[in-house]
Each structure stands twice: as structure tokens, then as C-alpha cells.
């Protein structure tokens, strides 16, 4: 195993995930002439483009930062014929509909000026039918010199089958004809993709989130990817989209971290147990009600999979563009979403807030989880989640929160958890109550810790033999 060396900045980071087409239209962006977008807030099931862009993200950085966010994760931004942009046809330019390279430059400069980082989504397993090398094969057939860039099985190619039963004659991701799979054994393909990764690191991005990296079943590809990226920026963050246990990629020579869905599903399953949509499953995203003991066991298991320096940079999330929104999964239980996010903010790793979750946006599977942010309709907002997130993020950024801490989780009752973070610099503890008002006994070793509050007089807010907890609340104390 290679020595584990993960970026320090991620250990205290709080991420915000943005789906660019649906976040905000920038006031300073002039789309190309003749462009017509769907109405903002149109039903996401209609697909299509609603006109969000990178200038819109930049113009709302103050709003995002006010939540306690320190880093952005952007869904794909390169030129594509799909609103989600996982169908890339030009990796060398930012989509003009998003404002082009100039908009990314503006966003990076504005984010970095605020001390915020920016991570892009890298889709390197597959391209699109419009990608130049695949188009070359469509035009030239077996005479194309780019034939070996993809997995071509027969001619003529049939990129637009008339029905779903019609067999493809080239390999594509999940057999979707719009997504031809790269042949990453080809040295030209490898060099092209590595150079794309390098190009945008040079441009100033702070990391890559890697789409379906397990489908490039080749450790040497990702080892070289890491060498090339880290050679330009040793602090760049490399996070893979692996939904389950991921030791193979987390040996110090490939990714820094993965998207930690197992922690997020456990949190929703426990804090939202009373309202959870039982039995929801997608990939390895499993939801089912948990009691306190099972929740603690599951979290201990997930934490036990990896080296502590990897746990410290895992991307911890409860929802994303690939899952139903958390509010939908717990049937609009705001308290459950707030508690689940509070838990992620207290745990090792980088919590990631999906755009709109802070105002209670809801929706089922893709495309319903990709609605437009209702900036002009604040009556739709449920601000309690955002306020809870903001308060806990402030604690996370305080001097009492130490990334080198040992963390333990204990069930005091079926509704009350004790989370302890202990380091050489002190102790931070949280009592998390998912139920009604409760009084619980305080373990003796925690007596005399004081409440972490700007307005509290420390001597009057010390832990005693027991503690009264409000309904659906988190109380934090420090030594």
C-alpha cells in the first residue's frame, strides 16, 4: 500500500453541489443569439435546458458561503447536448450555454477570492455521439484512423436505433447508444484524457470528481491519472463515484476519497426512520429504518473500511443529482433532514450539501431531483434546514473542531446519540436527539464540559449529571 497523502484543505471543507443548468441564470450572461430556453422552473421531466449558467453560480457565492460552505462541486460543465452534460462532445471548452471558458474563469476567481475551492465533474469513461473521434468513425466507417478509440463491433454503426430491442454494434455505457464507451487501453485515448485533466488543473480548478470510474477497470489508468493531476497540484482533490466499499481505489495511489453514500443512507435511515420510504433502493443506495444500535454499528463499519486520513476527506452526502432528494425520501420530514446533515457536519470527512436541500427542495428519482432553484419564489422555501446547517457548519469551522480527532458514536437511548471527538487539543461532544424532549444521563467523564455558544456564559452552561434535550435537536459541548 502506498503512503496515504490526502489534501489537508478537504478535512475541514464543506461542499455545495451545483447542477448548473438548474441553479441560477446569471444577470451578466448574454447567451448566444437565437437561443431559447425553457421557462425557469419548468417540470424537470420535460428535460431540455432552463438556462442556468456559471455566472449565476458566481453571483450567488455570497448566499452559498453564508451557509458555511467552503467548496463547490459542479456537475459537468463541458460542451454537451444534454442538460446534465454527462454526454460530452468537447472536453476542451466550457459549454457556451454556461458562459464558456470566460464564465469558469470568472467563477474560479470569485470563489478563490473568498477562499473557496472548486471541483469539477470528470466524465472519462464515455463520450457522446457528437464527440469528434466518434463522429469521425460515423463519417468514415472502418476507414477511420480513430476506429480503436472506441469498442466497435460491426458496421454500419447504428447510433440511433429505432427501438430499445435493437442491438447496438458498439459498446456504450449501460448500453445507451448516446454514450459510446472509450477504449482506455488505447494509448491515444489515455493521453487525450490525461491531458484534459491536466488542462483544467492548469486553468485553476481544485479537484476532480470522477464519474463512474469503476467502469474503467484498470488500476494503471487511475494511477497515471493521479500522477498527472498531483504533479501539477499536489493539493488537488480526487474523488471517485463509487457507491459502496472502495478499498481498491483508496490505497494511496488512485483516489483521495469516494462519494460516501453508505454514511448518508445510514443517516437518513436513522434520523428519518419514522417517515422513511421503506425499501427504496438504487445501485447501492439502500434506505430502510434503523434503530440506534444498528445505526451506530453501520457507521462504525463504514469508518472501519479505510485509513483515518481517507475518512477525513470522504465526500459525505445524503442526496445528489443521482438520487431522490432527501426531503422526498423522508416524506417532507424537515427535522430528519436537518439532523442527518448535522450528523455529517460533525463526522470526519467533507459534508456535501446538494443545491436546494437547504430550503427543503423535494423530488423523486432523476429527473425530478433536478428542478430549478426557486429564487423568485421564497414562499416555497423551508429555511429551518438551512439555519440548522449554518449553525452546525459554524461549529465545524470553530477552533474547537479538530480534524485529527478520534470519533466515537454511542447510543444513549434509541432516540439519543452521543458523538465524541477527542484530540490532543481537547474534546467536542454532541448529543443528537431525533425524538421528543428527553432527559438523559451524562457519562461521568463528560461532566463540566461547557456549551459551545457565542452568547452562553460558560460557567452557567456546563454539563452536569443529566441533560435536557429539546425535540429533534443537537447540543454541542467542548472541554
- 211 in catalytic set: yes
List the chain domain ranges.
8-125+184-396, 133-175, 406-478
Nearest of 416, 438, 346 to residue 388 by alpha carbon: 346
| Confidence at residue 31, expressed as pLDDT on a 0 to 100 scale | 84
| Confidence at residue 458, expressed as pLDDT on a 0 to 100 scale | 46
Q: Alpha-carbon distance 369 to 382, whole Å?
A: 17
Beta strands in 262-368 (DSSP E): 281-282, 285-286, 315-317, 350-354
Nearest of 27, 5, 37, 32 to residue 372 by alpha carbon: 37
**pLDDT tens digits for range 70-79:** 999 999 999 9
**Can you tell me the mean pLDDT for 329-354?**
98
**Can you tell me the mean pLDDT for 39-58?**
96
| CATH superfamily assigned to domain 406-478 | Golgi alpha-mannosidase II (2.60.40.1180)
| Confidence at residue 285, expressed as pLDDT on a 0 to 100 scale | 82
How far is residue 238 from each of residues 197, 214, 253, 256, 311, measured CA to CA in Å?
Answer: 11, 14, 11, 5, 14
From the candidates 110, 121, 241, 475, which is the catalytic residue? 241
CB of 49 closer than 8 Å to CB of 399: no
Burial class (CB in 10 A: 0-12, 13-18, 19+), 337: buried
State the average pLDDT for the chain.
94
Q: Please state the φ and ψ torsions of residue 83, each to the nearest 5 degrees.
A: -70, -25
What are the DSSP calls for 343-383, one per residue? HHHHSSSEEEEETTGGGT----STTGGGPPP-TT-GGG--H
pTM: 0.96
Q: Alpha-carbon distance 150 to 188, whole Å?
A: 11
Domain range 8-125+184-396, CATH architecture: Alpha-Beta Barrel (3.20)
CB of 450 closer than 8 Å to CB of 478: yes
| Confidence at residue 461, expressed as pLDDT on a 0 to 100 scale | 66
**pLDDT tens digits for range 202-226:** 999 999 999 999 999 999 999 999 9
**pLDDT tens digits for range 97-107:** 999 999 999 99
CATH class of 133-175: alpha beta
Residue with cell 474547537: 400
% of residues, the chain, pLDDT over 70: 98
Q: Alpha-carbon distance 44 to 6, whole Å?
A: 37
Same topology, domains 8-125+184-396 and 133-175? Answer is no
Grid cell of 249 as nine digits: 481505489
How far is residue 115 from each of residues 110, 201, 382, 403, measured CA to CA in Å?
Answer: 9, 17, 28, 19
**pLDDT tens digits for range 121-139:** 999 999 999 999 999 999 9
pLDDT at 390 over 70: yes
- 406 in catalytic set: no
**pLDDT tens digits for range 439-465:** 999 988 888 787 775 444 444 567 888
From the candidates 95, 211, 420, 475, which is the catalytic residue? 211
Amino acid at each position: 500500500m502506498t503512503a496515504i497523502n490526502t489534501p489537508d484543505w478537504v478535512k475541514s471543507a464543506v461542499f455545495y453541489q451545483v447542477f448548473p443548468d438548474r441553479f441560477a441564470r446569471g444577470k451578466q450572461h448574454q447567451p448566444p443569439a437565437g437561443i431559447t430556453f425553457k421557462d425557469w422552473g419548468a417540470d424537470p421531466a420535460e428535460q431540455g435546458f432552463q438556462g442556468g449558467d456559471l455566472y449565476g453560480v458566481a453571483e450567488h457565492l455570497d448566499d452559498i458561503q453564508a451557509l458555511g460552505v467552503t467548496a463547490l462541486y459542479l456537475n459537468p460543465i463541458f460542451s454537451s447536448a444534454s442538460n446534465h452534460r454527462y454526454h460530452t462532445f468537447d472536453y476542451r471548452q466550457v459549454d457556451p450555454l454556461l458562459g464558456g471558458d470566460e464564465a469558469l474563469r470568472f467563477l474560479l476567481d470569485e470563489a478563490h477570492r473568498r477562499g473557496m475551492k472548486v471541483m469539477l465533474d470528470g466524465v472519462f469513461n464515455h463520450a457522446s455521439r457528437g464527440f469528434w473521434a466518434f463522429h469521425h468513425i460515423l463519417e468514415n466507417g472502418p476507414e477511420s484512423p480513430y476506429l480503436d478509440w472506441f469498442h466497435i463491433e460491426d458496421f454500419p454503426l447504428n447510433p440511433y436505433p429505432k427501438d430499445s430491442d435493437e442491438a447496438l454494434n458498439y459498446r456504450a455505457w449501460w448500453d445507451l447508444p448516446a454514450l459510446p464507451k472509450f477504449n482506455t487501453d488505447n494509448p491515444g485515448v489515455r493521453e487525450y484524457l490525461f491531458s484534459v485533466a491536466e488542462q483544467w488543473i492548469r486553468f485553476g480548478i481544485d479537484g476532480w470528481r470522477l464519474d463512474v470510474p469503476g467502469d474503467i477497470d484498470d488500476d494503471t489508468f487511475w494511477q497515471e491519472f493521479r500522477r498527472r493531476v498531483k504533479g501539477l497540484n499536489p493539493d488537488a482533490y480526487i474523488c471517485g463515484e463509487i457507491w459502496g466499499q472502495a478499498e481498491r481505489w483508496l490505497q494511496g495511489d488512485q483516489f483521495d476519497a469516494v462519494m460516501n453514500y453508505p454514511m448518508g443512507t445510514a443517516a437518513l435511515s436513522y434520523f428519518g426512520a419514522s417517515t422513511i420510504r421503506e425499501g427504496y433502493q438504487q445501485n447501492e443506495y439502500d434506505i430502510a429504518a434503523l434503530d440506534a444500535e444498528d445505526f451506530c454499528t453501520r457507521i462504525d463499519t463504514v469508518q472501519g473500511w479505510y485509513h483515518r486520513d481517507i475518512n477525513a476527506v470522504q465526500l459525505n452526502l445524503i442526496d445528489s443529482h443521482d438520487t431522490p432528494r432527501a426531503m422526498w425520501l423522508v416524506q417532507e420530514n424537515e427535522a430528519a433532514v436537518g439532523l442527518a446533515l448535522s450528523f455529517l457536519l460533525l463526522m470526519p470527512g467533507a459534508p456535501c450539501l446538494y443545491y436546494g436541500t437547504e430550503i427543503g427542495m423535494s423530488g423523486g428519482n432523476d429527473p425530478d431531483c433536478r428542478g430549478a432553484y426557486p429564487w423568485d419564489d421564497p414562499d416555497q422555501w423551508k429555511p429551518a434546514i438551512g439555519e440548522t446547517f449554518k449553525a452546525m457548519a459554524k461549529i465545524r469551522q470553530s477552533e474547537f473542531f479538530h480534524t485529527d480527532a478520534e470519533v466515537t458514536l454511542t447510543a444513549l437511548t434509541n432516540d439519543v446519540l452521543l458523538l465524541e471527538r477527542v484530540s490532543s487539543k481537547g474534546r467536542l461532544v454532541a448529543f443528537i436527539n431525533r425524538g421528543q424532549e428527553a432527559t438523559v444521563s451524562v457519562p461521568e467523564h463528560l461532566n463540566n464540559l461547557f456549551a459551545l455558544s457565542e452568547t452562553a456564559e460558560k460557567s452557567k452552561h456546563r454539563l452536569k449529571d443529566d441533560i435536557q434535550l429539546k425535540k429533534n435537536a443537537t447540543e454541542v459541548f467542548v472541554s
